[in-house]
Structure 1
Amino acid sequence: MPELPEVETVRRGLAPVLVGSRIAGLDARRPDLRFPLPERFGERLIGQDIIRLERRAKYLIATLSSGEDLVMHLGMTGRFTVVQDGFVDRPGEYIHETGPNPTHDHVVLHLSNGTQVIYNDPRRFGFMVMMPHAEQPEHALFRKLGAEPLGAELTDTYLTRRALGKKVNLKAFLMDQHVVAGLGNIYVSEALFQSGLSPDRLAGTLADRRGGPTRKAGKLVDAIKDVLERAIEAGGSTLRDYRSADGTKGTFQERFSVYDRAGTACVTPRCGGVIRRAVHAGRATFYCPRCQR
């Protein structure tokens, strides 16, 4: 499943195409994806200008001139293709390993300048919903989401306040979308390594005796932001169903310090440790038992 950096890469690729454009037509080639498509889907989209394209956690949000938001989730294999002036582009460069099969082109937006934006999803775990923009923060998809990891709200004070008294381990704590929104398995492992914190450490230890943030809490916040920003710069990670449109891979997986490196030497100079694999809350965790305490 694409994680936050992959979704942000897709957003940055789609924004120049969608923002400021008008939707002139819609082809909904099936009634549902993971969930049924919105009622009166075409009626609510056609004729609307796209004002903004934002990301919240792993959701793409297109704000329309009607005052509604079109919220899109890529699921496991969802991707967009842009057909513009005879050229084909796949923003984010992520496509299924078997190639884009037109059979799975489920939703097509026709823009007023002739551009087509095609949503393809072989496994149909993605979805699209619509809601009034003013109601978005309180919608069931969003109201319980935690801080945006690349936003100003994720600070050592915020993280410590949420961790105070918690006896859950750090890996499970950071994977909780109610705490940090959109932070996925790969990047939690990488951020914990970069901050030198064991995935087994209790979340409550981020706070000092007075309940304030420790130095380790600050290092963890900095590591989360740095790992995500570097992953976005690299175009995300290519795992399982995702590879680049031109046949090359997203490059961040080539820079993993611990993820999927069990049994190999730690990259920290003079450490001498060997990367281990463990399972936390049903997800694989990779860490160095010497570097991470």
Structure 2
Amino acid sequence: MPELPEVETSRRGIAPFMEGHRVRQLIVRDRRLRWPIPDGLETTLRGLTVESLTRRAKYLLFRTRHGTLLLHLGMSGSLRIIEPDEPAGKHDHVDLLMSNGKALRFRDPRRFGSLLWSEGERVHPLLAKLGPEPLGDEFTGDYLWQRARGRRIAIKPFIMNAAIVVGVGNIYASEALFEAGIHPFRQAQKVSKARMQNLATAIKEVLARALTAGGTTLRDFSGGDGQPGYFKQQLAVYDRAGRPCRRCKQPLRSTVLGQRATYYCTHCQK
């Protein structure tokens, strides 16, 4: 599943072809995404100028004067800038034709992505209760420690909760916990304030490195230019069960926590 670095990489790749350009046509080949693409969206978008393309959590926000188009890549979605006459494949569900002669193509084999519209300045309900951005100033160790008070939930699903902090998906949660030396099963309320500071720093550093590398390619992800991300080559624990820890050389473990594959080192993470 594309996580925050992958979504941000896609945003940076397609933004120059979207911002300041007018929507000529929206072509919808299949409305059956996670939520049906709204009827009449083709008419709503026609002629509007994309004033900015931003990101909130894993949502891309195409902002216009009259409202915002929200796009989520889901589990297998990807975006590419193409020529408008490029033939569409089986899973190419949406094209956004722009006034600069280019088109944005949304491909989603599993159809867990979404394309929704928010009228005017209204904040869409899907965005209303999200936590802070992990790379922003609001996200600190003190903030994490305060939110963890009285929480018996394991620390890994705690930091993957979008109401606590957005965009820390499974890969980056595993990597950040390893960097901070925290066992993924440790209760959130039992992580000290000092270790929470280490964890907040690790989350920021892991995500920043992934952004520099263009994201992580495991199955479906490619950036806005169609190129894969390369952070997979830097992964310390994720998808490396049975292989030696890069620090202590002990075999890494894997298990399931919160219905997600979890990778860790029993020696380095306590």
Q: Give the Å deviation of 1:272.
A: 4.0
Q: How does 1:96-107 map to 2 (within 5 A)?
A: 102-107=89-94
- In structure 2, the residue matched to 1:37 is 37
Q: Give the Å deviation of 1:194.
A: 0.3
- In structure 2, the residue matched to 1:266 is 245
1:116 aligns with 2:116: no
1:174 aligns with 2:159: yes
Q: Give the Å deviation of 1:264.
A: 1.4
**Could you tell me how far apart the structure 2 residues matched to 1:42 and 1:57 are?**
25
TM-score normalised by length of structure 2: 0.93
Cα 1:175–1:247 change in 2 (3 A) is closer
Q: Give the Å deviation of 1:34.
A: 2.3
Deviations 1:180-219 (A, max 9, x none): 1121001000000001111121111234xxxxxx221111
Q: Give the Å deviation of 1:79.
A: 1.6
Q: How does 1:109-148 map to 2 (within 5 A)?
A: 109-136=96-123, 139-148=124-133
Q: How many residues are treated as equivalent by the alignment?
A: 270
**Could you tell me how far apart the structure 2 residues matched to 1:133 and 1:204 are?**
40
Cα 1:2–1:28 change in 2 (3 A) is same
- In structure 1, the residue matched to 2:54 is 54
Q: Give the Å deviation of 1:133.
A: 4.7
Residue type at the aligned position of 1:105: D
**Could you tell me how far apart the structure 1 residues matched to 2:223 and 2:92 are?**
18
The 8 Å contact of residues 154 and 221 in structure 1, kept in 2 or not, is answered as: yes
Out of 193, 212, 218, which is 1:233 matched to? Answer: 212
- In structure 2, the residue matched to 1:153 is 138
Q: Give the Å deviation of 1:249.
A: 4.4
Secondary structure (helix, strand or coil) at the match of 2:60 reads: strand
**Could you tell me how far apart the structure 1 residues matched to 2:243 and 2:30 are?**
47
Cα 1:58–1:17 change in 2 (3 A) is same
Q: Give the Å deviation of 1:265.
A: 1.3
Cα 1:30–1:279 change in 2 (3 A) is closer
**Could you tell me how far apart the structure 2 residues matched to 1:50 and 1:245 are?**
17
Percentage of matched positions with identical amino acids: 45
**Could you tell me how far apart the structure 2 residues matched to 1:245 and 1:128 are?**
17
The 8 Å contact of residues 273 and 291 in structure 1, kept in 2 or not, is answered as: no
Which structure 1 segments of 5+ residues have no match?
89-99, 208-213
**Could you tell me how far apart the structure 2 residues matched to 1:141 and 1:83 are?**
29
- In structure 2, the residue matched to 1:219 is 198
**Could you tell me how far apart the structure 2 residues matched to 1:148 and 1:275 are?**
30
- In structure 2, the residue matched to 1:164 is 149
Q: Give the Å deviation of 1:229.
A: 0.8
Residue type at the aligned position of 2:82: V
Secondary structure (helix, strand or coil) at the match of 2:261 reads: strand
> More displaced, 243-252 or 256-265?
243-252
Residue type at the aligned position of 1:282: Q
**Could you tell me how far apart the structure 2 residues matched to 1:12 and 1:242 are?**
15
- In structure 2, the residue matched to 1:187 is 172
Secondary structure (helix, strand or coil) at the match of 1:82 reads: strand
1:9 aligns with 2:5: no
**Could you tell me how far apart the structure 2 residues matched to 1:272 and 1:117 are?**
45
Deviations 1:234-264 (A, max 9, x none): 1111112335799974211111111111111
- In structure 2, the residue matched to 1:204 is 189
- In structure 1, the residue matched to 2:72 is 73
TM-score normalised by length of structure 1: 0.86
CA RMSD of aligned residues (A): 2.2
Q: Give the Å deviation of 1:292.
A: 0.9
Residue type at the aligned position of 2:268: C
Secondary structure (helix, strand or coil) at the match of 2:229 reads: coil
Cα 1:240–1:31 change in 2 (3 A) is closer
The 8 Å contact of residues 11 and 54 in structure 1, kept in 2 or not, is answered as: yes
The 8 Å contact of residues 29 and 93 in structure 2, kept in 1 or not, is answered as: yes
**Could you tell me how far apart the structure 2 residues matched to 1:239 and 1:11 are?**
19
**Could you tell me how far apart the structure 1 residues matched to 2:218 and 2:168 are?**
16
> More displaced, 160-169 or 243-252?
243-252
